[in-house]
Amino acid sequence: MKISLTIDPETLFILHSIIVKECQMIANNRIQRSGKSMRVELFEVLSKRCITYSSHRNGKKTTLTLKYHLASLVYDIVSDLQFSFGGIYEQNKLEMFKNELHQKLL
C-alpha cells in the first residue's frame, strides 16, 4: 500500500534535513537496526526527490509517494520533534504536513 502526498519544496527540504539527522543514530540490536534501515530507505527516497527538484526548480508542489510503513515512520518522527526543530515557520510547515499525512494514514 502506498501513500501519495503533495508537498511544497520547503517542507520537502525540511523533512530531508530531519531524516539526515535521524539516520545518524547508532543501532546496537535487531530492533534498532530495522528502524535505522527504514530511516536509510526514507533518506534515499527523499534525497532523490530533493535532487530532482533542485535540478528543475519551478516553485510548484511535488508529489511524494511513500510505502505505508515509511509514511508511518515519517509521521512518528515529525510527531516526536514537534517543538524541537527550527523556527516558527518550519514548525508550521511540519504541522501542516503532519496533519495531511495523518489524514492519509487513517
Q: What pLDDT, in 10s, does the model give residues 47-72?
A: 999 998 888 888 788 898 999 999 99
Q: What was the pLDDT predicted at 85?
A: 67
Q: What is the dihedral of CA 12, 24, 75, 46, to 10 degrees?
A: 30
pLDDT tops 80 at residue 84: no
* Grid cell of 22 as nine digits: 535521524
Range of the domain at 16: 2-105
Do 39 and 23 touch, CB atoms closer than 8 A? yes
Q: What was the pLDDT predicted at 71?
A: 93
Do 66 and 97 touch, CB atoms closer than 8 A? no
Question: Please, which residues have CB within 8 angstroms of residue 53's CB and are 6 or more apart in sequence?
Answer: 9, 12, 62
- When the pLDDT of each residue in the chain is averaged and rounded to a whole number, the result is 88
Report the SS3 class of residue 27.
Answer: coil
Q: How many domains does the chain have?
A: 1
Q: What is the pTM of this model?
A: 0.85
